[in-house]
Amino acid sequence: MKPMQKFTTLIISLLLSLNLLSQLTPEYNDIMIPMSDMEELEADVYIPAGCTSCEVILVQTPYNKDIFQWSLPMGIGLNVDAQQFIWVIVDWRGFFGSAPAAVASPDRGQDAYDICEWIVDQPWHGSKIATWGPSALGKIQYDLIAEHHPNHTCAIPIVADPQFAYDGYFYGGVLEEARLEQLDALGYGLSPIVMANVYYSFYWQAAESATYFPDLIEIPTLQIGGWYDHNIDRMMQFYKESRNLAATTVQDEQWLLVGPWVHGGTGIANVGSSMQGELDYPNAEFVNNEMAWDFLEYYLLDSVNDWQATPRITYYEMGTNTWKYSDQDDIASPTYEVLYLNSANRLTTESGNGSTELISDPTDPSPTIGGATLHPDLDQGPYDQTYLDGRDDIMTFSSDELTFPVTVTGRITLTFFISATTPDCDIAVRLVDQYADGTNMLITDGIKRVRFRNGYTITDEALMIPGEIYEVQVELPFTNYTWLDGHRIKIYVSGNSATRWDVNLQDGLEMYSTATAQTSTITVHHDDTHQSKILLPGNNSMLGTQVEAATNSLEIYPNPANQNIEIRTTENFTTYQIHDMSGRIISEGNLLNNSISVSTLEIGTYIVKLKDANGNYVQKKFVKG
């Protein structure tokens, strides 16, 4: 059975297991919608009884529109008459019923625009069109947003962001192998493109610039994400930018909902289900649907439902398992507390001593157990990591039992001082909540390829000299979590996490080749001179640690920028350099009033490096629009 057939069979099996034993018959089945290039896309149209002129919810899918005959989304199921909207479900060009319209480089934004033109001409349509859908069905909504169709009224992109980005495939410089394999199985055929560009390059610079456009948003959106979704980090950044760069008339009409949810698509858990991995969140069940209905009724039906009073950000604090709210554009904490790696596998508030070793064997890599995965062979969501404690390729560090709650909100950064017996290795980190009963529940994880410790371009690449000590930073995706009293903060550190990420052969040769694997002894140094540590974004003064700014607390605003970039940081930087993505210095000078002119730069992606009086520096990527 082909992978796409397997996916379709899985969905239908799940629906049947929910006792959906009959199908919904579309009012218009397999209707062909003409495109501006004279091709046609296949669609189904579901019209509630009594509708003579209704507003439309458009769904564009690469996963077979016929699946929706078993159940319409948002809790409608087979009862299309229970709501007031017409649903238009369209197969993407090149997929399923629209397969004959395939072209080498489809313009999905133009296709979406053409679909809207067709909808507007139908006698059953009112005047407004909303869009809805998760993952690829969410990304294509952004493509339509960029086309500015006059009848596109609002959008609900779920677990999606618009950008085709390097770090979406090479997190920390490491290929997310399992996800790319799954995307290929679903018919996207991305491997040739991705694997031809394993370094950050002009290709990625152009791709990221072309697909990142918060400044083109001119309609209200309800962006929905999950803490266990692989898109969450870019979603949080894109939402913040949309609040600042969207058309001024709708900047305050961008909403964000983040729950304790996975991406979905490879198991029974999905956005809005109660069960996520090994945990149950009953107070998060269907919150996504409830908010989506209020949003749609407000913008499509002019319902007086007080939607405008909804906080701009609704987010789930895991650990306490409570909903939180904010009207800011960002919920990341501006302050950090530090815990140091120490001897005896401890995380402490005092700088450490000694070092800890592990053996990284590429032929027997540590297994991926849950997390923000996307592959049917991998569990998805929060899972107990205790199995890893029995492996000799894992080192762990834990805090003492907490006597008070500790909350993190933002991007956690770990700084390691490492040496190895090979010229290259990876550092994989899994952050967990160790319960009082010894369960080690995964919160988030990340990885870094050490040859990319200075950046991801081919000129940044730097192999290690065996035995020498190097500083390496591992950044974890944005999360919101509280460790309760009686629990422990714990990290697992290893040289790999398979099969989610590519296993580093550690030979220092060409990546993603068939060279011979080398076993490496990796040493993490945590003495007074080499203070390996974890930076926790939050206001946890009871930890008793000094609050310090983390490298990733550096913010650039606006981003993309046109005339100037403003630097937001608590550190005292004195000079700056702007580099293009090949590493060339484009401009440099003294940092005055934390503002840098970029008006003369060509459109593209750049890196700004800031230095202090002691020669320490941080860097951040930005886009000149």
Question: Over the stretch 87-135, which tens digit does the pLDDT of each residue have?
Answer: 999 999 999 999 999 999 999 999 999 999 999 999 999 999 999 999 9
Q: How confident is the model at residue 617 (pLDDT cuts 50, 70, 90)?
A: low
Quick check: is 265 in a domain?
A: no
Residue 290 in any domain: the answer is: no
Mean pLDDT over the full length of the chain: 92
Q: Are residues 546 and 438 part of one domain? A: yes
Span 139-155, mean pLDDT?
98
Q: Give the Å distances, CA to CA, from 411 to 61, 333, 476.
A: 32, 9, 6
Residue with tokens 């067709």: 118
Confidence of residue 616 (pLDDT cuts 50, 70, 90): low
Q: Is residue 144 part of a domain?
A: yes
Q: How confident is the model at residue 487 (pLDDT cuts 50, 70, 90)?
A: very high
The pLDDT value given to residue 623: 81
Q: What percent of the chain has pLDDT over 90?
A: 81
Tens-digit pLDDT profile for residues 409-436: 999 999 999 999 999 999 999 999 999 9
Same-domain check for residues 400 and 539: yes
CB 451 within 8 A of CB 173: yes
The arithmetic mean of pLDDT across residues 57-65, rounded, is 98
The answer to whether 454 touches 583, Cβ cutoff 8 Å, is no
Last residue of a domain, one of 96, 130, 155: 155
- Is 117 in contact with 148 (CB distance < 8 Å)? no
Q: Give the CATH number for residue 119.
A: 3.40.50.1820
pLDDT of 361:
98
CATH classification at residue 569:
2.60.40.1220
Give the contacts of 388 (CB within 8 A, at least 6 positions apart): 366, 367, 369, 394, 430, 440, 492, 494
pLDDT at 461 over 60: yes
Q: Does some domain include residue 226?
A: no
Query: Average pLDDT of 456-485?
Result: 97
Q: How confident is the model at residue 186 (pLDDT cuts 50, 70, 90)?
A: very high
pLDDT classification of 566: cutoffs 50, 70, 90: confident
Question: Are 146 and 103 in a shared domain?
Answer: yes
CATH label of the domain that carries residue 352 = 2.60.120.260
Same domain, 402 and 463: yes
**Cα gap 462→446, rounded to integer Å:** 20
Same domain, 514 and 597: no
DSSP state of 68: G
| Domain co-membership, 350 together with 491 | yes
Do both 598 and 490 map to the same domain?
A: no
Query: Domain check: are 46 and 150 in the same one?
Result: yes
Domain of residue 620, residue span = 554-624
Q: What is the mean pLDDT of residues 2-7?
A: 44
Listed range (187-201, 386-400, 598-612) with the worst mean pLDDT: 598-612
For residue 185, how many other CB atoms are within 10 A of its CB? Answer: 15
Is the residue at 427 inside a domain?
A: yes
| pLDDT reported for residue 16 | 45
- Is pLDDT above 70 for 20? no
In the numeric block, the tokens 């060509």 are attached to: 602
pLDDT tens, residue by residue, 289-331: 999 999 999 999 999 999 999 999 999 999 999 999 999 999 9
Is residue 178 classed as helix, strand or coil in its secondary structure? helix
Work out the average pLDDT over 449-464: 96
pLDDT computed for residue 621 by the predictor: 79
Degrees to nearest 5, angle at CA 342 with 341 and 346: 85
Has residue 246 been placed in a domain? no
Task: Specify the higher pLDDT residue, 353 or 375.
Answer: 375
User: Same domain for 442 and 500?
Assistant: yes
Residue-wise pLDDT tens digits, 508-565: 999 999 888 999 999 999 999 999 999 999 988 767 543 444 444 577 878 888 888 9
Kindly state whether residues 452 and 492 are assigned to the same domain.
Answer: yes
| DSSP three-state, residue 564 | strand
Report the DSSP beta bridge partners of residue 326: 313
pLDDT of residue 168: 97
Range with the lowest mean pLDDT among 34-48, 343-357, 374-388?
343-357
Q: SS3 of 315, please?
A: strand
**471 and 615, same structural domain?**
no
Average pLDDT over residues 474-497: 98
At 392, is the secondary structure helix, strand, or coil? coil
Of 150, 152, 151, the closest CA to residue 141 belongs to: 152
Give 247-252 contacts, CB < 8 A, sequence gap 24+: 247/217, 247/218, 249/218, 250/217, 250/218, 250/219, 250/220, 252/312
For 565, residues 6+ apart whose C-beta sits below 8 A from its C-beta are 556, 557, 558, 559, 595, 596, 598, 608, 622
Residue 48 belongs to some domain of the structure: yes
Domain boundary among 134, 155, 176: 155
Asked whether residue 510 falls in the same domain as residue 369, the answer is yes
Q: Determine, yes or no, domain membership for 498.
A: yes
Instruction: Count the domains in the chain.
Output: 3
CA distance 108 to 367: 37
Which of 139, 155, 171 terminates a domain? The answer is 155
**Residue 263: which residues within 8 A CB-CB, separation 6 or more?**
134, 135, 159, 226, 228, 229, 230, 231, 271, 372, 374, 380
